[in-house]
Chains A and B, each alone.
Chain A
């Protein structure tokens, strides 16, 4: 069991758990949004709301964990978000929510891979989209 699912520092990790699903090339991640996370204080004062860009980050980190699982990486792999093809935010996500992020690898070519991402809270879809991740050129995965 690896100590961290992503290469990010603790303050920027949006993945608490990750598992492969029964469906090939799909995975499921979770993230509990601790109400004391710093960004809630300012986004927005008195009306905390998960920033939409961090929902995309949530999807990107989960997709990264899925991609790493295919490559047998023994340590969290370094991927970067290369493109957000589309992303729709359907409902607000609030402090204390537990986000479930489903990711599916759609295709890959060389150092790039495209994923479909669906985020839900309490089984209600809150956002979905498509993103492309790229492998960092000069970092090793292991």
Chain B
């Protein structure tokens, strides 16, 4: 049984289109991809209607694609406000991450 920790971590570029694809692939969206804009809220009123299970799936996908672990619900709440917010948050986190070879 392979754990996530030992999985290969491909370095995906942090941009809106990649994050949009990650969202579409991992969450059970009920909207057209065309409706997903950078500042569209992911949760709450007037949002894409994501729920807590979708949030968990996003944390799994982000760990797999970017090697960044999110296990604090408050951090997730801030990072997952919108794809734009997630992009900025991820870029800041990757800046902090030491580069390994």
Contacts and interface: CB of A to CB of B under 8 A. Distances in A.
A92 to B, nearest CB: 22
A42 B15 CA distance: 54
Given A26-B1, A116-B1, A107 B52 contact: no
Contacts of A85: 57
B52 A112 contact: yes
Question: What is the predominant secondary structure among interface residues of chain A facing chain B?
Answer: strand
B8 interface: no
Given A112-B56, A118-B1, A134-B52, 14 more contacts: A82-B53, A102-B1, A106-B60, A107-B56, A107-B60, A107-B71, A108-B56, A109-B55, A110-B52, A110-B76, A113-B56, A116-B1, A132-B53, A134-B53
A109 B1 contact: no
A118 to B, nearest CB: 6
17 contacts: A25-B3, A83-B53, A106-B60, A107-B4, A107-B56, A107-B63, A107-B69, A108-B56, A109-B56, A109-B70, A109-B71, A110-B52, A110-B73, A112-B53, A116-B1, A132-B56, A134-B53
B3 A106 contact: yes
Contacts of A139: none
Contacts of B73: 109-110
A61 interface: no
Interface residues of A, number: 21
A104, A107, A116 pick with most chain B CB within 10 angstroms: A107
B59 interface: yes
Interface string A21-45: 0010110000000000000000000
B57 to A, nearest CB: 8
A83 B4 CA distance: 19
B53, B63, B71 pick with most chain A CB within 10 angstroms: B53
